[in-house]
Amino acid sequence: MKIAIITGGGRGIGAAISRRLGADGYRILMTYNNDSQSAETIVSELRKDGVDCVAVKVDCGNTDEVFILADHPWMQDGVDTLILNHGMYERNSAKDLSLQELERTMSVNFRGSVAVYTALSRHLNDDATIIAIGSQLGIKGSPHGADYAASKGALHAWARSLAINLANSGQRVNVIAPGSIDTDIIGKDTPSKRKERENQIPMGRVGKPEEIASVVSFLCSDDSSYITGAVLHVNGGLFLP
């Protein structure tokens, strides 16, 4: 049975990915940092559905913890799919951003992803799929999330570079850049802010975590066997002219 590692797999988009890949027949190893309750809820749910699933506490901004993950017993069976989904988001404009704030966000969102890949790379199977969950903000920037946008932009560039390095190996690397998705990040919107956000999207609504998970499922399948180095925009047409 195939094994999928999903960082940040207990909440939001990560939880939807865990459910979808579990339904696709994968064994699921998800990481979480602070919210153990949400992670264990997803584990219990998946186990009731017959999915072999475990949750492991890992701060992806802590290199020592990341490399401990590589010693998990499941790694010995070989990893088929690595989903780099963890992240943090702080509201910091570029003009007010401190170096300390930038360092923390980059250490989690960007360097943490590189560390996870580096730690687990020796356990990835020859035809493994690697998917980084980026962001539309990593492409267009943000007036109030400069460090987040920078970290995701760096993640996109690194993942595409890795795709070039691995193109002849059989391993594929792709990025999904979600737009506004109905998760905790926008869950605190007032009704007027929510309406304003929806009015900016050509499809007139925010996305669902399950819609990101469906794209992940496609990229993990043989149907996407000729796709690597891509950044897939899943944003309801937000970048349409």
Instruction: Tell me the three state secondary structure of residue 136.
Output: coil
Q: Cβ(19)–Cβ(46) under 8 Å?
A: yes
Cβ neighbours of residue 67 under 8 Å, at least 6 residues apart? 115, 119
Sequence letter at residue 207: G
CA pair distance 81, 209, nearest whole angstrom: 19
Question: Which listed residue (32, 117, 148, 226) is catalytic?
Answer: 148
List the alpha helices (DSSP H) in the chain.
Answer: 12-23, 36-48, 63-69, 99-105, 111-120, 137-140, 146-166, 184-187, 191-199, 209-220
Using alpha carbons, select from 158, 110, 116, 156 the residue that is nearest to residue 137. 156
* 148 assigned to active site: yes
CA pair distance 128, 171, nearest whole angstrom: 5
Catalytic residues: 148
